[in-house]
Amino acid sequence: MTEQEIYQRLQARFDDSILGFESDIPQPVVSCTPEAVGDIAKYLRDDPALSFDRLLCLSGVDYEGLDEKGKGKHREINRYEEDGTVNPVEDPGTGDLAVVYHLESFKHHHRLCLSVRVPRETPKIASVGHVWITAQYGERETYDFFGIEFEGNPDLRRLFLPEDWVGWPLRKDYEMPVRYNDVPLEGLGLAVRDEQ
């Protein structure tokens, strides 16, 4: 089944929840609303004509700095100068966050890319951990880096970073904290030493 057919099938079933379909790119993207993603995932897995039994990759994306056409000026990550100063990001980000699911079916050998945009201020999305168990870790990772909350994930904790870490590092407007638990962080060591 091609992505076009999958999209039509999804639209017939979920009508309003399916927001769009980017078809003019090699790996077409279906986008949907964050609330419906749990149901859509269940449908994608259980429908015999689709049977997407594999979640290949669950990625978080911060679209801050990317315009409608996907072009944009890339925002540099914080730079630490030799004298210990840091170039902070001037304005807080405004772009959407997104969760991207890459799915594949063992049975039909077709693939689908499902993209779900969530607003930056209230990044909440339904969990798909009960559909593909592997998503539970992917969601934890995405929560860890983007601060997107997956409602229904049984164990939504930070995965890689310590529990008491402040901020969501892969957001484009992330500023690296000066200290973590009284430990001066990399690049800022010089500045902190000078303060003392």
Provide the binding-site residues for another protein, judged by CB under 8 A: 25-27, 29, 53-57, 59-62, 65-66, 69-74, 76-77, 100, 102, 106, 109, 113, 132-134, 136-137, 145, 158-162, 169-170
Instruction: Work out how close the CB of 114 gets to another protein at its nearest, in angstroms, rounded to a whole number.
Output: 12
Instruction: Work out how close the CB of 1 gets to another protein at its nearest, in angstroms, rounded to a whole number.
Output: 16
Whose Cβ is closer to another protein: residue 21's or residue 137's? 137
Q: Give the whole-angstrom CA distance, residue 194 versus residue 45.
A: 57
For the record, the structure tokens of 15 come out as 């009508």
Whose Cβ is closer to another protein: residue 20's or residue 35's? 20
Whose Cβ is closer to another protein: residue 34's or residue 60's? 60
Whose Cβ is closer to another protein: residue 7's or residue 101's? 101
For the record, the structure tokens of 166 come out as 């402040």
Q: Which helix (H) or strand (E) holds 114?
A: strand 111-118
Instruction: Work out how close the CB of 193 gets to another protein at its nearest, in angstroms, rounded to a whole number.
Output: 23
Instruction: Determine contact, residues 98/117, Cβ cutoff 8 Å.
Output: yes
Instruction: Work out how close the CB of 182 gets to another protein at its nearest, in angstroms, rounded to a whole number.
Output: 19
Instruction: Work out how close the CB of 113 gets to another protein at its nearest, in angstroms, rounded to a whole number.
Output: 7
Q: How far, CA to CA in Å, does 107 sit from each of 11, 45, 52, 110, 128?
A: 22, 11, 8, 8, 20
Whose Cβ is closer to another protein: residue 106's or residue 122's? 106
**Residue in 112, 101, 93, 133 with CA at minimum distance from that of residue 49:** 112
**Residue in 127, 114, 124 with CA at minimum distance from that of residue 31:** 114
Instruction: Work out how close the CB of 101 gets to another protein at its nearest, in angstroms, rounded to a whole number.
Output: 10
- Residue 81 half-sphere exposure, CB side, CA atoms within 13 Å? 6
Phi-psi label, residue 147: left if phi above 0, alpha if psi -120 to 50, beta otherwise: left
Whose Cβ is closer to another protein: residue 69's or residue 182's? 69
